[in-house]
């Protein structure tokens, strides 16, 4: 794999200490969706914010990259709730991009669940979704209706939970106890446990949970709360940013700049400065120290409290203890594929494929994790980004792209841990090539015509994620979204260290919109009463 080259997809200003234009009102560590959102929201309130990103491009898991004449996104495969201007996600995206970020709808069938030789379509719109499932499972009408009711109730419990994360100590604990007596407590159980109260049809349960890769835990291990959020999120279909995923950072950064702030790349923060018991700034890898009254970390809770926060900080021991009660989420491998013809000519759909050996997700996952070479790949997700993006053909005429994501634990690659990206040796490359070939065959099974148009491919592993995104085990969803995670009251925007705040997918939930909303809640935590007009605009409309 060649080294990254300069690309028009890179966004942000390359860091040099003499390019900083302080003093700043706030410093943000990391330019993922949460960090960009918090910075843009604060900028629109007149705050001057500097965002420090250690990667060569801004955007976190929303960035894109270019190689060999192709472009791929690394984490934005589809986003829901973008078809109407009155949803929270769409309002917030419009707010932080000044309405410049545009969206294209996917096909009416946004996700297709393959179980061995059978497949089932998830259709956009509650009525179409219900009718298609009823057609496929004619004896399960009541269970399907009960399911739709359950995901509505469970997803609705998340907004008041978000509010409790903004309330101070005792008040927040009292409010949380009230929620636990209602829908939150009822549905913060495993997804499989909730669904098996509605039906004993395991094929139907498998179809309903076929998107489990969107949170990284199979149904017997995930909380039904995260399942419901994801299912409701896509109930009205999937959307893709026009111009590709890099358009997210590209349209948000100008809003951050409006109040004098900026987003700096190659800006590696090594320490959070804590003086007299308060977070006062950051130290960068070149030794430069930049100070501000507010520090916001979008680096994830493990990185924030284990790597960046000094041991003399208030409540340091508290956070070390709390970290022992949460787990890092799944890791994955992603195959980036270039084809030498257009998506239209090749017949590529605007539908995602979820491919499984059968409907027993947990058994197949456990078998493959224990013996990857002796069993089928337990989860294969295929996305066709060049088909989803109506601007792709203009930027890359005569070309198309495919992305294949598969579960791939860090343990499979542990022997190369600590090695340098692009220099891991022949054994590593051979291991990657073998897995890439298996993934390609999954694609060719569904689209045999693509075999003759394969022009380029490369595989990223959990080590790639660790190298570029600073998640040491390649975790792509931050923390596991099991029931225990939703009981962690310390996962809130305002930390116990004065002046230090959290944002990103560890604060609320995973995914682009989960991190997006966390950026909003962090802004509200930082600004207090001054943020009430923003809260009303976003949550009430």
Q: How many CA atoms, within 13 angstroms, populate the side-chain half-sphere of residue 364?
A: 18
Residue 4 has pLDDT above 50, yes or no: no
Q: What is the DSSP string of 223-284?
A: BHHHHHHHHHHTTT-EEEETT-THHHHHHHHHHHHTTT-EEEES--EEEEEEETTEEEEEEE
Contact 518, 504 (CB under 8 A): yes
Write down the pLDDT at residue 238: 98
Question: Which range is least confidently modeled, 157-171, 309-323, 392-406?
Answer: 157-171
Write down the pLDDT at residue 7: 59
Write down the pLDDT at residue 299: 97
Question: Cα(318)–Cα(33) distance, rounded to whole angstroms?
Answer: 27
Residue 444 has pLDDT above 70, yes or no: yes
Write out pLDDT tens, residues 281-322: 999 999 999 999 999 999 999 999 999 999 999 999 999 999
pLDDT averaged over the chain?
94
Question: Cα(527)–Cα(533) distance, rounded to whole angstroms?
Answer: 11
Q: Tell me the mean pLDDT in the region 426-453.
A: 96
Q: Tell me the mean pLDDT in the region 518-539.
A: 95
Residue 3 has pLDDT above 70, yes or no: no
Write out pLDDT tens, residues 213-266: 999 999 999 999 999 999 999 999 999 999 999 999 999 999 999 999 999 999
Give me the domains of the chain, ranges plus CATH numbers. Answer: 13-82+243-325+488-539 (3.50.50.60), 107-236 (no CATH), 328-469 (no CATH)
Q: How far is C-alpha 187 from the geometric centre of its chain's CA atoms?
A: 22
Residue matched to tokens 């986003």:
79
Residue 449 has pLDDT above 60, yes or no: yes
Write down the pLDDT at residue 1: 33
Write down the pLDDT at residue 425: 86
Residue 170 has pLDDT above 70, yes or no: no
Q: Tell me the mean pLDDT in the region 50-67.
A: 94
Write out pLDDT tens, residues 122-162: 999 999 999 999 999 999 999 999 999 999 999 998 888 88
pTM above 0.85, yes or no: yes
pLDDT over 70 percentage in the chain: 97
Q: Select from 300, 130, 136 the least CA-distant residue to 204.
A: 136
């Amino acid at each position: 794999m060649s080294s990254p080259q300069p690309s028009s997809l890179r966004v942000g200003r390359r860091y040099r200490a003499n390019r900083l234009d302080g003093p700043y009102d706030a410093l943000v560590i990391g330019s993922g969706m949460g960090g960009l959102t918090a910075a843009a929201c604060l900028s629109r309130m007149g705050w001057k914010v500097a965002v420090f990103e250690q990667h060569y491009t801004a955007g976190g898991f929303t960035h894109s990259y270019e190689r060999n004449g192709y472009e791929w996104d690394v984490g934005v495969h589809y986003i829901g709730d973008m078809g109407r201007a009155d949803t929270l996600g769409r309002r917030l995206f419009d707010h932080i991009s000044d309405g410049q970020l545009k969206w294209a709808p996917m096909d009416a069938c946004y996700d297709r669940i393959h179980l061995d030789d059978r497949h089932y379509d998830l259709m956009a719109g509650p009525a179409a979704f219900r009718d298609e499932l009823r057609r496929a499972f004619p004896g399960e009408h009541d269970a399907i209706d009960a399911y739709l009711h359950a995901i509505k109730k469970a997803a609705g419990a998340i907004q008041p939970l978000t509010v409790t994360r903004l309330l101070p100590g005792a008040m927040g604990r009292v409010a949380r106890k009230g929620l636990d007596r209602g829908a939150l407590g009822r549905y913060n159980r495993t997804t499989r446990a909730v669904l098996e109260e509605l039906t004993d049809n395991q094929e139907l349960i498998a179809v309903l949970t076929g998107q489990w890769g969107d949170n990284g835990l199979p149904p017997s291990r995930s909380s039904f709360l995260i399942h419901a959020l994801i299912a409701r999120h896509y109930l009205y279909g999937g959307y893709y940013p026009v111009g590709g995923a890099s358009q997210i950072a590209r349209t948000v950064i100008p809003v951050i700049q409006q109040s004098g702030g900026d987003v700096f790349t190659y800006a590696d923060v090594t320490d959070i400065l804590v003086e007299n018991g308060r977070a006062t700034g950051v130290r960068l890898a070149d030794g430069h120290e930049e100070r501000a009254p507010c520090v916001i970390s979008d680096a994830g809770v493990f990185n924030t409290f284990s790597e960046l926060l000094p041991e003399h900080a208030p409540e340091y021991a508290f956070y070390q203890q709390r970290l022992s009660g949460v787990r890092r989420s799944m890791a994955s491998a992603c195959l980036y594929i270039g084809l030498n013809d257009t998506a239209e000519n090749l017949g590529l759909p605007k539908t995602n494929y979820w491919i499984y050996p059968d409907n027993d997700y947990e058994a197949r996952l456990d078998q493959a994790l224990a013996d990857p070479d002796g069993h089928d790949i337990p989860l294969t997700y295929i996305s066709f980004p060049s088909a989803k993006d109506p601007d792709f053909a203009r930027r890359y005429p005569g070309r198309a792209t495919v992305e294949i994501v598969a579960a791939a634990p860090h343990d499979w690659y542990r022997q190369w841990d600590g090695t340098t990206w692009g220099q891991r040796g022949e054994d590593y490359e051979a291991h990657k090539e073998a897995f890439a070939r298996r993934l390609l065959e999954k694609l060719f099974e569904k689209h045999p015509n693509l075999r003759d148009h394969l022009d380029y491919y490369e595989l990223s592993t959990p080590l790639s994620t660790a190298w570029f995104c600073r998640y040491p085990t390649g975790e792509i969803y931050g923390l596991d979204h099991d029931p225990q995670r939703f009981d962690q009251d310390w996962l809130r925007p305002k930390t116990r260290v004065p002046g230090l705040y959290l944002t990103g997918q560890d604060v609320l939930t995973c995914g682009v919109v989960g991190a997006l909303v966390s950026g909003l809640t962090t802004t509200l935590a930082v600004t207090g009463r001054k943020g009430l007009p923003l809260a009303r605009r976003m949550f009430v409309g």
